[in-house]
Each structure stands twice: as structure tokens, then as C-alpha cells.
Amino acid sequence: MSNYYELLGISRNATQDEIKRAYKKAALKHHPDRNPNNKESAEAKFKQVGKAYQVLSDTQKRQTYDQFGEEGISQMGGGGGFDANFDPFDLLRQFGGAGGVGGVGANIFGNMFNQQQSEKQQKVKADPVQKVVNVELKNLYNGQRSSFIFQKKIKCKKCDGLGVKDKRLIRHCTLCNGTGKIAHIKRMGPMTTQTIKTCYQCNGRGTYSDYNDKCRECKGEKIVANPTKIDYYIKPGMSNGDKIIMRGQGNWEGDCLESGDLYIVLNELKSKSSFIREGENLLYTMKINLVDALTGFTFYIKHMDDRFLKIVSGDIIIPQQSMKIMGEGMRKKSDSLDYGDLIIKFLIVFPEKISDERKKYLKKILPSPKKQIWDIEPSDDDVVDEIVLDYLNNEDVRNNSSYHSSTSRTTSNDNISNSNNTGNNNDINNAQLNEDDELFNQPVNCQTQ
């Protein structure tokens, strides 16, 4: 086998940059996929080129090689200077893919050095980080562009992520032989137990450096915090708990090739608006007066995109009745144009008191069932007792019940008609809404009209 320098076509004084460039060029040239006619000999050469890079890119190994040749490398350290798990295809992939597409910055080569030094399996990408953002239903309906400042951990520029003043000051950990792990063997009588622990000398990194050699900027941590503005977009129809994934916008971790992802997790705040989301539908609770429930009325709903929906009802609305408006709910999926429905639940406000005078009129006006011959009225002799009806629970129930208007807002005379009331109709209809209301929590009876 020809010597490593000849293999890569470089001089003995080649710099690390030259070695990297020469390696990539040679590896692509000899890649078996690019040599379909002589795959086998190309692959052998491809492996040799990788081996040459493995040695020459490591200052310590290069020195040994220069003095003692390949044999010197084999005798280096515990398991020798050659990594038994070395995969030349993986190496090239780290340089920008087996196809040789570029785009791998010089900083990545810096980490390659660390990776070569330690026989420990290095992470390619740092772990993702999560950031929870609060969002109102209105913004989930309309979509929203927003941003926040993220204390992003980036590679220390001063030491290029090495954590030391110079890469020659990185020491290979001989205690764990660069694996970052050490085995503890305990003997108890005939039993032996082995536990694997993180190496205390290198903290599992496989390499370490002396305190005085550490980079002053990052204090040897390899990373520094860099406040970064993150712009993100909430698509209409997204839901509580949805994740927006920002690829590569997360933190960098020492020795990783790439920064991790940033996950933006949506946290829907308790609705301040009159709308409540139920899956792809929206629920809107509306109080109406008894007279409107009986005679019909026109009302307006201000939607979350500020449109006013004009709704004309000519039919009688019965207690607990719900109606729906097709297609006025939430967007079904954030990438579709289908919408759920808007369900309007009516709560009928009954008058608290009606004067005897008015009662007479009402009896005359409102239809009452005609007496049938089988409607029996007992004679006075049959009546045992005269009973006064009492409330089932206590006065509170009666006062809270939506069947009664609150005295401050409505009397039998004071008619809160919704007709042509565009400006503050939300206020009127919802000022008294309270989710603890007994009636509020009753099952929605979805009827279509």
C-alpha cells in the first residue's frame, strides 16, 4: 500500500484544510458507486483513502505515522490507532453525503477532528428543545405570525467548539480509552456483578483538558448563549398541543455535527371570547329573551375574523335548543380549506315576574290546549290537600338559572332584543355567561334546522 500522503495526493507538509479537501476529492473519485466497471478495486481504494484521512486528520496519529509508519499506528494506545468500527462510507457521508453534494461548512470539519480523536460514538445532531407559546383561540382560527427571543446555545466561536485554547490541548482519556464509560466489577462471594458508569475523568466525553487550557470564552463548555429572534407562523386550524418544528434552529451540543431542532408547542389559553372550540366545531352560547324565543328575531354574531354573521330566526326556539351554521367552525386541518360548523346554543331568559294584568293578556294571547273530554277535574270532595309548590333546591338555583333574567339587566318590561344590535351584542349576550352555570354544562343538543 502506498503511503497516506501519496494516496491523498498531498505533500507531507499539507495543512488540515488541504487534507480535508484532498480526502473528499479522493473519496468521491474512488467511491464504488461511481466506478461501476471496477467496483471492487475502487472500494478497496476508497477504504484506504478513508483510513489515510483517519490518521492524517488526527495530529497525534499523524505524528506517530510520520515517525513509525502504519505499524506505529497499529501499536498506539489500548486498541491501536485504528478504529475497529471505522466505516469509510459513514465518514464520507459526514462530509456531505455519498453523492458528494457539498454544503458542509468548515466548522463541521472542526468537529470531525473531535470525532476522530475519540473512539466514542458521537452524536450527529443535538437533542431537540421545546418552547411553549401561549395562543388564543382567535389566533388559531385566523392564523398568526409571531416571534420570540430564544437563548440559543451555539458553538463557541473563540475555540470553534473545542472548549480548549488549541486543539492540541485536548487529551485523549486513557482511563476509559475514549469510550466515556468505565466498568465496575464487584465480587460478592461467588457472584460478580459488572456495572457500567460514566467515566469520571472525562465526564463521558472521551477526551478532557486541563483547567488552564480551557477556552476562556466558554469556560470549556464549548457552547455560548446567543439570543436569537425566532419567527414562526401558526397556521389557521392548528390545535392546542400542536408542534411547529424549526429544523436546526435549536441548540448546539459539544461535539455534535448539527444543531438540534426547535419545537414550538402551542398552548391554547382559556377562551376569552364567546367561542369555545369543540374539535373542528365552534360553540357559541347565546342568551335570548322568552319573547324572542317565541316570536323570532334577528341577531348578529361577530366572528373571530371580525365578520358579522346576520342570523334571522322565525321559528320558536325551545329551551336547550342548538342550531348550526355550516362551515363557520374551525378549519378542519391546517392545510385544508374545509371548515367545521358553528353551533349556537340558546339559553332562554325568562322574565322574573309578570303582573296579574299581563298574565291575563298572556293567557288570552298564547295558545293553550283545548280541553278534551277525558281531562278529568276531580270534585271538591276528592281534594285532600291544597299544596304550594316549593323550589327543588334553594333560591341560589333559581337566581343562577338561565331561565330567569337577572334583575339588574332585565325586567318583564325591559326587553333585551338583539334586533339590529351590532355593536355590543357579544357583551349583552355573554355578560352573564358563566361556565359554572348548571345549564351551561348540559349536553349540547345539536339539531339542524
Residues that bind Zn ion (CB under 5 A): 156, 158-159, 173, 175-176, 199, 201-202, 215, 217-218
Nearer to Zn ion, 125 or 171 (CB): 171
State the minimum distance, in angstroms, from the CB of residue 146 to Zn ion.
33
The least CB distance from residue 217 to Zn ion, in Å, is 4
- C-beta closer to Zn ion: residue 183 or 269: 183
CA 156, CA 252: separation in Å to the nearest integer?
10
Q: Which helix (H) or strand (E) holds 346?
A: strand 342-349
Q: Counting Cβ atoms within 10 Å, is residue 360 exposed (0-12), middle (13-18) or buried (19+)?
A: exposed
Phi, psi angles (nearest 5°) of residue 91: -60, -45
Residue 176 or 262 having the CB closest to Zn ion = 176
Please report which residue ranges of 118-253 form alpha helices under DSSP H: 137-142
Q: Cβ 194 to Zn ion, closest distance in Å?
A: 17
Nearest distance from residue 441's CB to Zn ion, in Å?
58
The Cα–Cα gap between 180 and 200 comes to 8
In the complex, the smallest distance separating the C-beta of residue 120 from Zn ion, rounded to whole angstroms, is: 9
Minimum CB separation from Zn ion for residue 216, in Å?
Answer: 7
Ramachandran category for residue 42: left, alpha or beta (phi over 0 → left; psi -120 to 50 → alpha): alpha
Instruction: Give the integer Cα–Cα distance in Å for 101 and 103.
Output: 7
Specify the residue, 255 or 261, whose C-beta has the smaller distance to Zn ion. Answer: 255
Which grid coordinates belong to 264? Answer: 414550538
Task: State the DSSP string of 374-408.
Answer: T-----GGG---------SS-HHHHHH-TTB--TT
Place of cell 407559546: 133
Question: Cβ closer to Zn ion: 121 or 267?
Answer: 121
3-class secondary structure, 132: strand
- The nearest distance, CB 279 to Zn ion, in angstroms, is 50
Q: Are 231 and 147 in contact (CB under 8 A)?
A: yes
Q: What is the 3-state secondary structure (H, E, C) of 189-210?
A: CCEEEEEEEECCCCCCCCEECC
Q: For residues 136 and 217, which CB has a smaller minimum distance to Zn ion in the complex?
A: 217
For the record, the C-alpha cell of 404 comes out as 330567569
Angle, in degrees to the nearest 10, between helices 16-30 and 39-56: 170
> Please, which residue, 80 or 97, has the CB nearer to Zn ion?
80
Task: Give me the least distance between CB of 187 and Zn ion, in Å please.
Answer: 24
Closer residue to Zn ion (CB): 117 or 289: 117
How far apart (Å, rounded) are the C-alpha atoms in residues 58 and 347? 78
* CA distance readout (Å), 352 to 305, 365, 401, 411: 36, 19, 11, 7
**Closer Cβ to Zn ion, 176 or 266, answer by number:** 176
Q: Of all helices (H) and strands (E), which one includes residue 204?
A: none
Shortest distance (Å) from residue 231 CB to Zn ion: 28
